[in-house]
Amino acid sequence: ITNKSLDDQRTEQEVPGLKLANPAVLPAPQKADANRGDYPELSPQKPAKPPHVHRGPSNLQIKAPRKDTRLKTQHDTIRDVEELVQADKVEKTEKSIISWRGALIEPDQSTEPPSTKLKEPERPSSVEAEDQKEPVPINERQLAVIEAFRHAWRGYKDFAWGHDELKPLSKSYSEWFGLGLTLIDALDTMWILGLKEEFEEARRWVANNLVFDKNVDVNLFESTIRILGGLLSTYHLSGDSLFLEKAKDIGNRLMPAFKTPSKVPYSDVNIGRGTAHPPRWTSDSTVAEVTSIQLEFRELSRLTGDEKFQKAVDEVMKHVHTLSGKHDGLVPMFINTNSGQFTHLGVYTLGARADSYYEYLLKQWIQGGKKENELLEDYMRAIEGVKKHLLQRSEPKKLAFVGELAHGHFSAKMDHLVCFLPGTLALGAHNGLAADHMKLAETLVETCYQMYAQVETGLSPEIVHFNLHAQKGHKDVEVKPADRHNLLRPETVESLFYMFRFTGDKKYQDWGWEILQNFNRYTRVPTGGYTSINNVQNPSNPEPRDKMESFFLGETLKYMFLLFSDDIDLINLDKYVFNTEAHPLPIWVPA
C-alpha cells in the first residue's frame, strides 16, 4: 500500500518524464487534537525595524504500517501537554501517550547518482506489511514540541497564511521572496511530527497557490536551502510527486545564477525573468552561499536524470578546491564572480559567510557514498586548521570555543551559527573519521550550551565574546549590546540532536528541554507564534522584535522533536543527510 490519496496519485501522472524514485518514507501522519496553551504575555512594543536576516553563512523503500497502528491516547493530551510545558522541570516519563509511526525504512537499491538519460515515471512498489518493527511511542517532551509547533502554526495560519514570515505581535506578515517561505520550510516538520491535518492543508496551498513564475529577485542560497531543500525532503518523506514537480520548477529557475565568467554563481536570481546578478554593492558572492547549495542540486539531478544541476554545483566545488588564499584549509568569506578568486583575504571564521562551506564538504561526501575524496580531504584539512588557529579556551570554566582570525590577530568572538560544528564533527566521527573529532564535538557542544546557561533568560545571544583571562565577577561569556538578540536559531539544538543520537547521553535531551522551556517563557506570543527578541539579558523585558523566522519551524522545532525521540529510525542518520536548513535528503547507495 502507499500512503497516498487519489488526488496525490493523479498528480503523479501529470509529471511526464519524472521518476518517482522513492515511495513514502514515513507513514502518513494521523490526526491529533488541536491542543493549545498560552504563555505569559509579551507586551507588544514597537521594535526598531531589523534588517532581514541572511542565514549566513549558517532510494528508500517502506514497509506499510501495520493495520493496527492507531493513534493511542492514554489520557487527555491537551491538559497533559499544557501542564507539562508550563512546568519548569518535568520528571522524565516512560508513559507512551501517542503512537502513530510504524514504518520500517529500507534502502532501495535504485538510489544511485544521476544518469544522463531522463528516467521513466515509476510508481512506488507496494510492500508487504510483515516484519514490522513496533512503533516507538511519542513521549511527553515530544508532545510539548508538537504543542509549540501548533501554537506557532496557529499564528502563521491566522495572520500570515501563504506569506513568507509571521509578525506575531502586530498580527501581520512580512515578505522576502513572496513564496510562502514559512509554509514550505515547515512541510517536512509537519510530516515528521505527525500533523496530518496541517500538512494536508499546506499541501493544498502548494498545489493551488505556489507559483514561481513571478518577477521577483530571490537569494540563490536561501531559496535553495529553504524552498528547493524543503520540497525535495517533503517529496522523499511523503512520496507525493507534487513536491518533486515544484522542486524541478524552482531548480530550473535558479540555474541562470551560474551564468557567470567564472561559473561561481551570482547571489541573486530573478526567477520570473531568468536573469541573475550580484548584490548592488559588489560583484562578490559569499563563500558559504556558493558552496552550500550542492546537496540540493545534486539530489535534483539524481531524481530527474538531468545532470545539469549537479554539473553546475560540482564545478563550483572543484574550483574552490583548487583556489589559493586558504589558510590550512580555512577559507576567506568572499569570492569574486568575475575572476573566481577569493577576495578580502586574511579573515577566517566558522560563523556567518563561511560556516556551511565546512558542513557541506562532509555532507556531500556522505551523500555521495563516501567516494569523493577531494571533499573529504578539504574537510579534514579544514578541521585541522580550526584546531591550529581558531580553537582556544575561556576563563574561568576553560570552555573550548572557536574564535576568528583577522590578518593574524585572534578574536575571541563566536557566532551562535558556529554551534553547527559539534553536530558536524560528531557526524563525521560516526562515519568513520578521526575519533578526536568526537571528543572535540563533546567539548564544543558544552560551550554552546553555556552560551544559553550563562545568560539571564537562558537563551543565547547572536554573538558572544569569551574571556581569555580570569577576571573577578566575570563569567566566560560576555555579550555586547549590539549582539544580544536571539532569532530562535537552531544550531545548538541541532548539535544536541546529533550528540544524543550518537552517544545516548540524556544530558543532551535535558539541555534541549531547558532551551525549549526558555523559548516558551520569553518568546511565545499568546495569540499565536513565537518572536525573535532583542535582549536576552533582560528577563523582565526581552524586547520582542515581532518576527518569527521560517527556520524556527523548519529547523529548531524539528531538531527538538528528533532530539527528544527515542526512535533512532526516525530519520535514520545512516540513510539521510540533513541539508543546512534541516531538510533530510537520502544518502545515495550504489545500485
Residues flagged as binding site: 580
Name residue 486's amino acid.
Answer: N
Distance separating alpha carbons of residues 294 and 81, to the nearest angstrom: 40
Instruction: Name the active-site residue from 80, 165, 222, 378.
Output: 222
Helices 196-209 and 241-254: crossing angle, nearest 10°? Answer: 50
The residues, ordered by sequence, that sit 6+ positions from 240 with a Cβ below 8 Å of its Cβ are: 4, 8, 11, 12, 24, 203, 234
Q: Which residue has the cell 514559512?
A: 182
Instruction: Name the active-site residue from 198, 245, 355, 359.
Output: 355
- Calculate the CA dihedral of residues 74, 80, 81, 84 and round it to 10 degrees: -130
DSSP line for 255-300:
GGGG-STTSPPPSEEETTTTEEE--TT-SEEEHHHHTSSHHHHHHH
The residues, ordered by sequence, that sit 6+ positions from 398 with a Cβ below 8 Å of its Cβ are: none
Give the closest residue to 463 by CA, choosing from 476, 449, 477.
477
The residues, ordered by sequence, that sit 6+ positions from 204 with a Cβ below 8 Å of its Cβ are: none
Distance separating alpha carbons of residues 584 and 356, to the nearest angstrom: 16
Contact 81, 144 (CB under 8 A): yes
Question: Three-state SS across 231-242?
Answer: HHHHHHHHCCHH
- Calculate the CA dihedral of residues 80, 83, 89, 93 and round it to 10 degrees: -10
Distance separating alpha carbons of residues 516 and 18, to the nearest angstrom: 41
> β-pairing, 400-402 with 404-406?
unpaired
Please indicate whether residue 494 is annotated as part of the active site.
Answer: no
- As given in the structure block, the three cell numbers for residue 142 are 515530544
Distance separating alpha carbons of residues 229 and 113, to the nearest angstrom: 17
Distance of CA 260 to the CA centre of its chain: 28
Contact 391, 444 (CB under 8 A): no
Instruction: Name the active-site residue from 8, 164, 188, 462.
Output: 462
Give the closest residue to 206 by CA, choosing from 8, 5, 4.
8
Name residue 145's amino acid.
Answer: V
- As given in the structure block, the three cell numbers for residue 370 are 563516501
DSSP line for 109-164:
TT--PPPSSPPPP-PPPP----SPPPPPPB-HHHHHHHHHHHHHHHHHHHH-TTSS
Instruction: Name the active-site residue from 80, 188, 476, 491.
Output: 491
Neighbours of 72 (CB within 10 A): 13
User: In Å, what is the CA distance from 263 to each residue of 138, 208, 314?
Assistant: 47, 35, 10
Contact 240, 6 (CB under 8 A): no
- As given in the structure block, the three cell numbers for residue 333 are 568569506
Please indicate whether residue 491 is annotated as part of the active site.
Answer: yes
* Residues of the binding site for Ca(2+): 580
Distance separating alpha carbons of residues 509 and 498, to the nearest angstrom: 11
User: In Å, what is the CA distance from 320 to each residue of 262, 263, 278, 368, 418?
Assistant: 11, 11, 18, 18, 21
Residues annotated as part of the active site = 222, 355, 462, 491
